[in-house]
Amino acid sequence: MSTFDPDALECLAAIIEEGGFERAAQRLSITQSAVSQRLRALEAQVGTVLIVRSRPLKPTPAGQLMLKHAKMMRLLRADLEKDLKELAPSAAGGGRDEERISIAINADSIATWALPALDALARQGLPVEIITDDQEFTHEWLREGQVLGCVTSLGQTLRGCRMEPLGSMDYVVVAHHAYAHAHCPKGLNAHNFHQLPFVAFNRKDHLQHSFVEQAFGLPRVGLKQLFVPSSEGQIRAVRSGWGVSVLPELAVRDLVASGELVNLAPRHRLGVMLYWHCWNLSSDVLDAMTAALTEAATRNLNACLPQKTPPGRGSKRKDSAASVTSAG
């Protein structure tokens, strides 16, 4: 098998990750002409085109394989750096700035439990890059080889990967106490939900619909929606009286306890089952990341498996995992 130039592999990765030749050149601190030359040399060695020159740029199937190889090489170097630091701290060089260990995590997990799980690894110098997407789509980043692991609602193991169940993330429907008093003093029900604006994450966000449909036994609902593409931003919007929203119980627990926010349907909650998928490789870095995320999930998420599988925040797919449960 051919030995590929590490600089050419990183050049390919930079083009795909940055979305263009100019930004790749800036990241690698080389000229745009040098980027093109390295890519051409790599394509000549592989014997096929690796990137479709479209807008946006896209890797070809061969390009996806080479991107995955480039990320595997990063992982090997990260493992080596970790071992060197343990054996001879003064000998470890710290790796190149452009080499990133990329993972994909849904926004609500980033805003609640996932970042603290990675604190120790980040402080140790691991060059982590977190890509955010809907939990129904994060596994596509892994499938395409653009990340080495992901937190997703997909409960089926991907080829060449291993999977760890993390637990169920519970969602509740809330509003600011003043808004609730003025617009829904008796809470959310099957008769008033269509009158209230729901603050959703983006157009992929079907959690709002899923909660209402399942809590009130409705087959399909239409909602008035506002879009705020940030978990923290959704909470801020609700606190400012924009409307109601289905949000992680973990994120609004203290605000509900203080009385600032009101749980509009306290007998109902939506549980979205999350899983950690990563490449099935022998790697100390991957093992450490897996252990950190699974331990944090055990402390923060509900270990009970959901009984139904309707869509969560994302497109309506059979592989998503969510259910509404009633309390008391």
Tens digit of each residue's pLDDT (9 = 90 or more) over 71-111: 888 888 777 777 666 665 554 445 455 567 889 999 999 99
Counting the structural domains of the chain, the total is: 2
Which ranges in the chain belong to alpha helices (H)?
6-18, 21-28, 32-46, 61-87, 107-109, 115-117, 119-123, 138-143, 177-183, 207-215, 231-239, 249-258, 284-300
Q: What is the DSSP string of 190-259?
A: TTTGGGSEEEESSTT--HHHHHHHHHTT-S----EEEE---HHHHHHHHHTTS-BEEEEHHHHHHHHHHT
Residue 180 lies in a domain: yes
Query: Rounded CA gap, 184 and 284, in Å?
Result: 52
209/61 same-domain check? no
In a domain, 83, yes or no: no
The stretches in the chain having pLDDT less than 50 are: 91-93, 95, 306-320, 328
CA distances, 113 to each of 32, 97, 107, 238, 327 (Å): 40, 27, 11, 21, 23
Reported pTM: 0.72
The answer to whether residue 258 sits within a structural domain is yes
Q: Any idea what DSSP says for residue 113?
A: I
**For residue 48, what is the domain's CATH number?**
1.10.10.10
CA-closest candidate to residue 149, choices 111, 118, 171, 108? 118
- β-strand partners of 263: 174
pLDDT tens by residue, 154-178: 999 988 889 999 999 999 999 999 9
In total, the chain counts a number of residues equal to: 328
Q: 313 and 237: one domain?
A: yes
- Same structural domain for residues 299 and 200? yes
CB 273 within 8 A of CB 306: yes
Strand partners, 268: 326
Residues 20, 128, single domain; the answer is no
pLDDT at site 165? 95
Query: Is residue 82 assigned to a domain?
Result: no
* Same domain flag for 68 and 104: no
- Same domain? For 56 and 116 the reply is no
Phi, psi torsion values for 28, nearest 5 degrees: -90, -5
Residues 108, 254: one domain?
yes
In the numeric block, which tokens belong to residue 309? Answer: 């599988």
Which conformational region is residue 189 in: left (phi greater than 0), alpha (psi within -120 to 50 degrees), or beta?
Answer: beta
pLDDT at 96: 52
> Do 153 and 60 reside in the same domain of the chain?
no
What are the tokens at 305? Answer: 């498996």
**Same domain assignment for residues 48 and 142:** no
196 and 47, same structural domain? no
Residue 109 is encoded by which pair of tokens?
């997990």
Angle, in degrees to the nearest 10, between helices 61-87 and 284-300: 90
Q: Minimal CA–CA distance to 310: which of 191, 57, 136, 96?
A: 136
* Residue 54 backbone dihedrals phi, psi, to 5 degrees: -120, -175
Does the residue 140 lie in any domain? yes
The answer on 66 and 132 residing in a single domain is no
| 247 close to 163: Cβ distance less than 8 angstroms | no
What pLDDT is attached to residue 185?
A: 95
Query: Which range marks the domain in which residue 213 is found?
Result: 100-328
The pLDDT, as a whole number, for residue 101 is: 84
Residues 123 and 64 in one domain: no
Q: Which two tokens stand for residue 117?
A: 């799980």
Biggest alpha carbon–alpha carbon distance for the chain: 70
Q: Is residue 95 part of a domain?
A: no
| Residue 181 placed within a domain | yes
Position 285 in a domain: yes
CB count in 10 Å sphere of residue 73:
16
CA angle centred on 114, ends 111 and 115, rounded to 5°: 75
CATH number for the domain that contains residue 307: 3.40.190.290
Instruction: Kindly tell me the burial class for residue 150, based on how many C-beta atoms sit within 10 Å of its own C-beta (0-12, 13-18, 19 or more).
Output: buried
Of 72, 89, 117, at which residue does a domain stop?
Answer: 72
Q: Is 16 helix (H, G, I), strand (E, B) or coil?
A: helix
